[in-house]
Amino acid sequence: MNFETMMLRSLFGACVLVCGLALVSMVSAKSVPAQLAAHAPIATATVVTG
């Protein structure tokens, strides 16, 4: 196996590993959107004309 083939295979393996870890972290993450929205500060906008 020449050098280029070995580098491409190792790069492919690293990319698969990173994508797999990202997928696992997204699937196993606990979502708490209701709690985050309940404690968010109320945003106010002030429009100044003139």
Compute the distance between CA of residue 30 and CA of residue 34 in angstroms, rounded to an integer. 12
Domain ranges of the chain: 3-38
Compute the distance between CA of residue 6 and CA of residue 31 in angstroms, rounded to an integer. 40
Is residue 4 classed as helix, strand or coil in its secondary structure?
helix
Residues 24-45 have pLDDT tens digits of: 999 888 776 655 556 666 666 6
Q: Which amino acid is residue 33, in one-letter code?
A: P
Compute the distance between CA of residue 25 and CA of residue 14 in angstroms, rounded to an integer. 17
Q: pLDDT grade, residue 47 (50/70/90)?
A: confident
Q: Which of 16, 35, 34, 14 is nearest to 24 (CA)?
A: 16
